[in-house]
Structure formats: C-alpha cells, structure tokens
Chains A and B, each alone.
Chain A
Amino acid sequence: MSVLVFAETSEGKFKKSAFEVTSYGKKVAEQLGTNVVVLTINSNEPTLLYMYGAEKVLNVSNDALRTFNAKVYANIIKQAAEKENSKLVIIDSNANAIYLAPTLAVNLSAGYASNVVALPTSTSPFTLKRKTFSNKAFNYTELTTDCKVISLAKNSFGLVENKVDGNVEEFSPQLIESGLTSTSVEQTTGKVTIADADVVVSGGRGLKGPENWGMIEELADVFGAATACSKPVSDLGWRPHSEHVGQTGKPVASNLYVAVGISGAIQHLAGVNSSKVKVVINTDPEAPFFKAADYGIIGDAFEVVPKLIEKLKEFKANNA
C-alpha cells in the first residue's frame, strides 16, 4: 500500500499547494511505513516534486485534460489509487481539489475529511485534526473506512524539503464521459489570487468609498499581495464579490494579512484567522480586530497607508 498525493498544476506549472501536499504526503507515508506516489496532470516539470519527497511521480499528459472537469479528474485519481494500491489519497484545498473530493470519496467508498491542519495524531485509529466551526475551533475526526480521502488546509503544513531520487512514470488512464461541458473560462492573469497569495491586503468600510481603493491596490502591489475586502464592501458594490473574505466569503490562510479600516466582526475574523500574522490599521482603539491581531496601528488609514507604501518601497529597494 502506498500513499497517493494529487499535485495540482495550472497551465503546466505546479501550484504552491502541490509542494505542500507532497511534503505532507511524504511525512504521512513515513508515519505509515510506506512510500508516497504523486499523481499530476499535464505538468511541464514533474521532477520538481522530488525536492519534497516524491519517490514516484505519475504524470498524465493529455490535451483533453487542459480544462479541469471534476468528474473526469476524480475518476483518474481513482484509477491511479487502484493501480498503486493506495488506500489513502491526499489532495490540497484549492477550488478544484475540494470540488472533486466528494466525488472521489464516493468512487472509492472512502471516508473524507476536509480542512485537515496537521499530521494524523494517530494512524490506528486514523485520526485527524481539522478546522471546524468556520475556524473558531478544531475537531479530531476518526476515519473508519478502509479507503480514505483527506484534503489539507492551505498553508497549514508548509513546504518541507526532503530531496529524494525519484522517478517519473507516464500514466495513461481511461477518460470517462462527463455530462458537464465547460463553455468558457474567464481568469485574470498576472494578478495574485487570494487562494495563492502569501500576503493579502484587505479593506473595509472604513475606507469610505470605492474611489479610495487606489492606495489599497498600491500597497498590495508593493507587498506582491492579493487584494480582499470585508462583506459590506462587496455588498455595497465597492469591490467584486470575489474579494469578499470571511465566514461567508473566501477563507484566507496567508502568511500576512493586512486589514485596513475593518472592525473585526466575528464573521470576518472567522474567515481570516488562519493567516499566520495579522496587521490592523484602524482609527478606533476599541475595534475588536486589535484583540485578534499581532501588530496594530491606531490611526487614520488615509495617513498611515501612504506612509506605509513609501517606507515599504524603501525597504524593498534596500533589500532587493
């Protein structure tokens, strides 16, 4: 039995989470006293996975798979699991991975645990620590089935270098039919997405109006960050819904989260408190966000943010 990891690519390149799930899969395989096999689809450079402990890489090269299809992909992962006699499949928590996971679990008659944040606390029974109640707590879940699927929460394990001498095998699975047809994909290129970003700069109602987002975008630019916003900001149409973060929006699990003019309501915090370091800029010393933050500045965003942009540019210039 081996552990099977699914490492996602985007236009031939590995997502950062691909290295994280590989690092994680390698450690779980060690815990179980077995090896790790990493499956990837249309990767330009599958050997990059050796750095994170992938002893064996199954690479599927097929132009028909350029566009993601959850049902087709889940079926390919199932075929790989059967071929490698894997009883444990590990995926990341990107949009595509969590889309295909439930289908995969049914295909394999597997128990499925999402939002996993650490190595199994026990392998028999197989027990996992997971985020729950929208990040307000954790639970420990036992998977009682023979086959298991787990999805690792973003940025919860990190990249662990563990260079091995691996090998790549071409894998040619059967492709099933799916009743769903993709008719178009609109994707902003060249912009960091909230899902992939190491740094996220987020603005709230304290910024008064959409016309004031120039400085938020500039600050994000200097950080190399994605931009985000609180719920009312997207409800008011100041920013697109895709930027809404929090309990009912996107979760954020970046290394750094900078909140400008956001009060820190419980629903907002729930979605962002998986970020490692939080900085808050707010005029109100009583804003609840200060209780959840690591660093705080009490001050007017319209004065603090331009200064921060200027100083950060200097810092970047000196540390380039």
Chain B
Amino acid sequence: MKILVCISHVPDTTSKINFTDNDSKFDSNGVQYVINPYDEFALTRAMWFKEKQGATVTVVNVGNVSTEPTLRKALAIGADDAIRVNAEPTDGFAVAKELAEVVKNGGFNLVLAGKESSDYNGGMVPGMLAALLDFSFVNACIGLEIEGEKATISREIDGGKEILSSNLPLIIAGQKGLVEEKDLRIPNMRGIMMARKKPLTVVEPINSEAATSIISFEKQAAKAACKMVDADNVDELIRLLHNEAKVI
C-alpha cells in the first residue's frame, strides 16, 4: 500500500486573525503554523497502516518554502518522505490539479486528507482530487480499514453514520473518529532527529489555472455587550428570548 497524506499548513487554532494590505491579505505576523488539525487524524491513521500493514507513507503539501517546517513535523511523527509542490495554494481546484500530478507520478493507491483546512475551510481539495483521478472518495470519514485491495469506510452523516465498501484506489477526507484524539502523536526527540535526514523533495508546479480568487477579507463585526440576567430570575431570560430575541 502506497499512502499519500495531504498536509495543509494552517495558523494555530488560537491565532488572532488579522489582515493587511487594505484587508487583501492574511497577516501572518506572529502567527504560529501547524499541521491542519483534520490532517493530523489522517496522518495518524496512515502511521497505523505503516506499522501494522507495512504501508509506505509520503506527505505532501502545495505551498512555498515557509511550509517546510510543517512537513518536517509530519516526518518527525513518522512519515517516510515528503513532497512540496512549489506553488502558492490560492485556489482549491488548482491545488487539487497539482496533487493529481503527484498521485499519478508516485503511483499512490490510498490518499488520506482532512475534511477541510481550518484556514480557508473550503472542503474541496480531496473530493476534487478524487474526481480528477476517478478514484473512489468518502468525505467526513470516521473509520477506515483496509484488507488487501478492499476498504471498509465509515462516514458521518447527519444524525448517524454510514458504512461503505470500495476497492483501492481510494481517497478519504478524515476527521476525529478516524483515530481518537488520544492517539494523536507529538513528535519526540528521536523522531525530530530522524526527520532531518528524511527526503523532502521539491517539485515544480504544472501551473494549473485558478477557478476562484479572494479579493478581500473582513473581520466579524464587534458584538453588542452581553445582557446579564440574575440567576434567581430565569423568567426574565425566557421573556427576553421570546419578546426581544424572538427565538422561542
């Protein structure tokens, strides 16, 4: 099994979100970057397939040189090698086309990604990649088992779950459940040392055309102050929800 894990390089979840250049660019000043939380579930599941079923695990990112520490972190967690496609990831469709080249050239038969990246929240790359390659695709994946060429996949649906089966090749977009939170790994010293020596290949993009472009950003409007209600007067809360907020 040749696994490719797609790694998105995103601001830490605690980051304050600000914009510069007349609100046209994200302000990365002072921002800590991490592996996209959803991708961590995918990477951890990939490590399980490596350790228990002898799979090889390659991680990939479409991005400029600043994303390399994030790829090194994935190597420190245990991936065998890394690929960086040297392009600005401005549009999901273009990223998917770049990744499709990587999958074809590398002969991967299982691609694990996160269901969305926590910065632009597009939720489009894995599904587009599958459609471009004509691989089976499961979104919101909360369980994956592979036996030979056969995969059993669970996906979360509104109010429950669905079990699906498919042959490889397969692409899944994962989330918590694919592995548990407690199974996520933090790189240890030995992993970090080894990661320095693992191959990180930079490939040039095919320069696929973007289908969308972001013109500007806007922050959430400031909120009015919270109205406090006395704990001994919950009637007042009900009155406010009924008469003022009109939600009950």
Contact = CB atoms under 8 A, between A and B. Distances in A.
Interface in B1-39: 11, 13-14, 17, 19, 26, 37-38
A304 B233 CA distance: 9
Judged by DSSP, the binding face of B is mixed
A14 B56 CA distance: 45
A139 interface: yes
A266 B13 contact: yes
A248 B218 CA distance: 22
B245 A142 contact: no
B165 A180 contact: yes
Contacts of A303: 231
B189 interface: no
Contact of A187 (B128, B131, B160, B247): B160
Given A137-B217, A144-B211, A196-B158, A277 B241 contact: yes
B127 interface: yes
A105 B128 CA distance: 8
B37 A248 contact: yes
A318 to B, nearest CB: 10
A85 interface: no
Contacts of A184: 162-163
A136 interface: yes
Contact of A248 (B91, B176, B215): B176
What 6 A-B pairs are tightest by C-beta distance, nearest first?
A102-B127, A299-B231, A111-B211, A187-B160, A106-B131, A193-B159
B131 to A, nearest CB: 4
Interface string A127-165: 101011111111111111100000000000000000000
Nearest to A196: B158
Given A111-B211, A132-B121, A235 B235 contact: no
29 contacts: A70-B137, A71-B137, A94-B158, A95-B139, A98-B123, A99-B155, A100-B127, A102-B124, A105-B131, A112-B92, A112-B124, A114-B122, A136-B219, A136-B220, A138-B220, A141-B213, A144-B213, A180-B136, A183-B164, A186-B162, A195-B158, A195-B159, A199-B247, A270-B13, A279-B241, A280-B226, A294-B226, A300-B231, A315-B238
Given A101-B124, A137-B17, A181-B166, A241 B211 contact: no
B229 A291 contact: no
A111 B97 CA distance: 13
Contacts of B166: 179-181
A244 B109 CA distance: 31
B229 A297 contact: yes
A35 interface: no
Given A113-B212, A223-B248, A295-B227, A138 B217 contact: yes
Given A290-B226, A311-B234, A102 B126 contact: yes
Contacts of B121: 114-115, 131-134
B109 to A, nearest CB: 13
B127 A101 contact: yes
Contacts of A115: 121-122
A297 B139 contact: no
B214 interface: yes
Question: What band does the interface of chain A fall in when counting residues whose beta carbon is under 8 Å from B?
Answer: 35 or more
A292 B130 contact: no
Interface residues of B, number: 81
Nearest to B157: A95
B177 A241 contact: yes
Nearest to A275: B247
Instruction: Point out which of B132, B175, B181 has the most chain A C-beta atoms below 10 A from its C-beta.
Output: B181
Contact of B14 (A98, A102, A266): A266
A135 B128 CA distance: 23
A187 B162 CA distance: 8
Given A140-B216, A181-B166, A295-B240, 9 more contacts: A102-B127, A103-B128, A178-B136, A179-B136, A242-B160, A248-B37, A273-B220, A299-B231, A303-B231
Contacts of B234: 297, 304, 307-308, 311
Of the listed residues B161, B182, B213, B224, the one surrounded by the most CB atoms of chain A closer than 10 A to its CB is B213
A299 to B, nearest CB: 3
B158 A95 contact: yes
Contact of B157 (A139, A187, A280): A187
B176 A244 contact: yes
A297 to B, nearest CB: 5
Contact of B118 (A71, A103, A248): A248
Contacts of B125: 102
Interface in A60-113: 70-71, 74, 94-96, 98-103, 105-107, 110-113
Interface string A231-266: 100110000011010011100000110000000001
A136 B247 contact: no
A279 B242 contact: no
A316 to B, nearest CB: 9
A296 interface: yes
